[in-house]
Amino acid sequence: MDNRGILIVVSGFSGAGKGTLMKELLRRHPDTYALSISATTRSPREGEVDGREYFFISTEEFEKMIAKDGLIEYARYVENYYGTPRGYVEEKLGQGKDVILEIEIQGALKVKKAFPDTLLLFVTPPSASELKSRLVGRGTETMDVIRSRMDRACEEAQGMENYDYLIVNDDLDTCVEEMHSIIRAEHRKISRNAEFMEKIKEDLISLKGED
Ligand code: ADP
Ligand code: 5GP
């Protein structure tokens, strides 16, 4: 099998449950996946740790990273910058890990353009009202911020068609297993196994006529 890992982008409305899903997927399959840690200029939420959820940096530091091409992609989202540091992603893909970027849609499309064999997954709750309940229930944002995130969800919904698979996060356990199965199947795509196929073709020719 070809050894490089798959680059996977996970997007979805804020409050859809992406963070919760990623945490559970990594807990169940720690050797398979690596989760990229983004840099952001937004302030940490209660309980978030620098270098774990995000690298929390200043706008000036962020702009320096852009200037030295240290980010695979970046975007502005509700007044802040968010971006994917290049080094970690390249290192982990080289080690054969499937690397997950949990990023919003503008960034997802940039990654797909730069790396066309990226797998794009879109996470949604089962309904719009459930999205609002989860955002309110999480209790980490003011009603004003929740409103702007719901507005942003309306815009992001227009871009769902650009993704490869829709992941409906209703029951968490089912959803985690479904996501893992989709990624397993992606590894078996003909287009991802060129090296293996070449090798077996050559070996079949060498064996022809031998007893
Ligand atoms: P995101 O990372 O997409 O913004 P979170 O992972 O923070 O979303 O989840 C938003 C809220 O919804 C959290 O309070 C989380 O505990 C809850 N949540 C996540 N998945 C589910 C689920 N399958 N069923 C019910 N609540 C969920
Ligand atoms: P939050 O503030 O809720 O942690 O994240 C807000 C949005 O930014 C989410 O949609 C999240 O997926 C996205 N995001 C997080 N990191 C990155 C990144 O590195 N690049 C891009 N383009 N979006 C990101």
Q: Which position has the higher pLDDT, 193 or 78? A: 193
Would you say the CB of residue 109 lies under 6 angstroms from ligand 2? no
Decide whether any atom of ligand 1 lies within 6 Å of the 125 Cβ: no
Residue 16 CB–ligand 1 contact under 6 Å: yes
pLDDT tens by residue, 48-60: 999 999 999 999 9
Q: How would you classify the pairing of strands 98-102 and 7-12? A: parallel
Judge whether 179 and 167 are in contact, CB under 8 Å: yes
Q: Which ligand 1 atom minimizes the distance to the CA of 175?
A: 23
pTM of the model: 0.92
> pLDDT band for position 122 (50/70/90)?
very high
**pLDDT at residue 2 in the model:** 62
